[in-house]
Amino acid sequence: MLYMPTRIFIETGALTKAQKYITLLGKKALIVCGKQSAEKSGVMADLQPLLKANGISFEIYNQIHENPDLESIITGKELFQRHACDFLISIGGGSPMDAAKAISLAAANNLEISQIYDSSLYQKSFPIAAIPTTHGTGSEVTQYSVLTDSSAHKKAGFGSDLIFPRLAIVDPRYMLSLSPRISLNTSLDALSHLLEGIYSIKRNSYLMPMIYRGIRLIIDNLSLCLKEPNHLPAREALATASLFGGITIAHTSSTLQHAIGYPFTTEFGIPHGLANAMFMRQLMDFYAPSIEAELSTLFDSLNMSREKFYAWLESFPIQVKVDLPTDMLEEWIPTILTTRNTKLSPRIPTEAQLREILKTVQK
């Protein structure tokens, strides 16, 4: 089964092409973004005149930081309700898009902070148009939102078909201002999504051509993008790969790869994509006995060996070591093993096996 209720525009000038559909979403938008990305990327300079020309008023909520917390969602909900908004436009990477999804649910169902993760309360939502400015999360085409619960000191996600964005507006020009560091980390996140579509026990054979193509696009274009940040075709290739990754995990969900990465982001501030990449080789090796046929088909399609893939991957600065105290490691292990993501993995590690995987990044 495939389900994708998002209308996708991916091309230079995508916002102009999508404007007719934006006008169908509502009369007053809450624009959800960070303080800099919406302006720096050029989205806001294009978006505001378009909205005004179509008689759409808007409020701007630009207080979204990386790894948005539950408190920021309630602030956004109150702003949305106070100004009588009726749809949302998210601009940025995964954080603004995930925040917009949560605000949509919180405002539509009048959720309190303690209710945000309670899916039984999700009865309706407000429509969302998502404009990514990074090529990583694919959140513009998923039903997931990942937030930080500051009180519990953890990063956790939830999903609902109600929060699929109505529109995904992907213009690679809006990614030209990305720094090399963010370009790398977000691309690694997209690569993780694509690989996890192969790993997941919910894998879908209809997605495989898209997965293989997305991985190939990253392999062929990531180094070029880092060397030539203004190379528009490379940006478009990576944006396409990210979109393919989002479509993939919308159907397969993520796996242990993400469950391991989350605490490293929460505890050490390691960017999400990099936190996933730190364990990419270890987990592929761990999964290999259970998915030999799937990996063989992947590398045949890429016309490269697993060893050459590892050499390519490790040519980037992903070898991060952290001070991981034993008591922290032991606290993490049962949490990681009981997540929904881990249960979708093709092979579940024992506590001892997970401990050894985690120790590979220990100083």
Residues 70-92: tens digit of each pLDDT: 999 999 999 999 999 999 999 99
Examine the fold and report which residue of 110, 143, 174 is the final residue of a domain before the chain moves on: 174
Phi, psi of 156 (to 5 degrees): -145, 150
Q: Is the pLDDT of residue 320 over 80?
A: yes
Range of the domain at 251: 178-359
The CATH number of residue 238's host domain is 1.20.1090.10
**DSSP state letters, 267-280:** HH---HHHHHHTTH
Q: Which amino acid, 208?
A: M
> Distance (Å, rounded) from C-alpha 234 to C-alpha 300?
24
Q: Indicate the residue among 174, 189, 215 that finishes a domain.
A: 174
- Shared domain for 339 and 190, answered yes or no, is yes
Label each residue of 69-86 as H, E or C: EHHHHHHHHHHHHHCCCC
Distance CA 191, CA 249 (A): 11
**The pair of three-digit structure tokens given for residue 30, joined into one six-digit string:** 């809450």
- Partnered with residue 158 across adjacent β-strands are 145
Buried/exposed 75-87: b ≥16 CB within 10 Å, e otherwise: bbbebbeeeebeb
Which of 174, 193, 212 corresponds to the end of one domain?
174
pLDDT at site 65:
87
Q: Which amino acid is at 181?
A: R
Residue 6 has pLDDT above 80, yes or no: yes
* Domain co-membership, 112 together with 191: no
Q: What is the pLDDT of residue 66?
A: 84
User: Do residues 184 and 331 both lie within one domain?
Assistant: yes
Mean pLDDT of 35-52: 92
Q: Are residues 223 and 257 in the same domain?
A: yes
State whether 229 and 316 are in the same domain. Answer: yes
Q: Which of 220, 243, 223 is nearest to 172 (CA)?
A: 243
Find the radius of gyration of the CA atoms of the chain: 20
- What band does 37 get if pLDDT is binned at 50, 70 and 90? confident
Domain count within the chain: 2
Note whether 277 and 339 are same-domain residues. Answer: yes
Q: Are residues 125 and 48 in the same domain?
A: yes
Structural domain contains residue 183: yes
Enumerate the H helices of the chain as residue ranges. Answer: 14-22, 37-40, 43-53, 70-82, 94-109, 180-199, 208-227, 232-252, 256-268, 272-277, 280-287, 292-302, 306-313, 326-337, 340-343, 351-359
Domain assignment present for residue 1? The answer is no
pLDDT number for residue 1 = 85
Of 34, 296, 227, nearest to 235 (Cα)? 227
Q: Identify whether residues 170 and 182 lie together within a single domain.
A: no
| Average pLDDT over every residue of 129-156 | 88
**Does residue 238 fall inside a structural domain?**
yes
Q: Each residue of 280-311: pLDDT tens digit?
A: 999 999 999 999 999 999 999 999 999 999 99
Nearest partner of 90 among 52, 153, 134, 124, judged by Cα = 134
Model confidence over 180-192: pLDDT tens digits?
999 999 999 999 9
175 contacts 243 by C-beta, under 8 angstroms: no
Residue 98 placed within a domain: yes
Contacts of 150 (CB under 8 A, 6+ apart): 69, 70, 71
What are the CA-CA distances from residue 131 to residues 85, 141, 212, 244, 348 (Å)? 18, 11, 25, 15, 36
**Do 133 and 259 lie in a common domain?**
no
- Most distant CA pair in the chain, distance: 61
Q: What is the mean pLDDT of residues 321-325?
A: 93
- Please choose, from the candidates 10, 80, 91, the residue with its C-alpha nearest in 3D space to the C-alpha of residue 44: 91
Q: What is the pTM of this model?
A: 0.95
If asked whether residues 216 and 314 sit together in one domain, one would say: yes
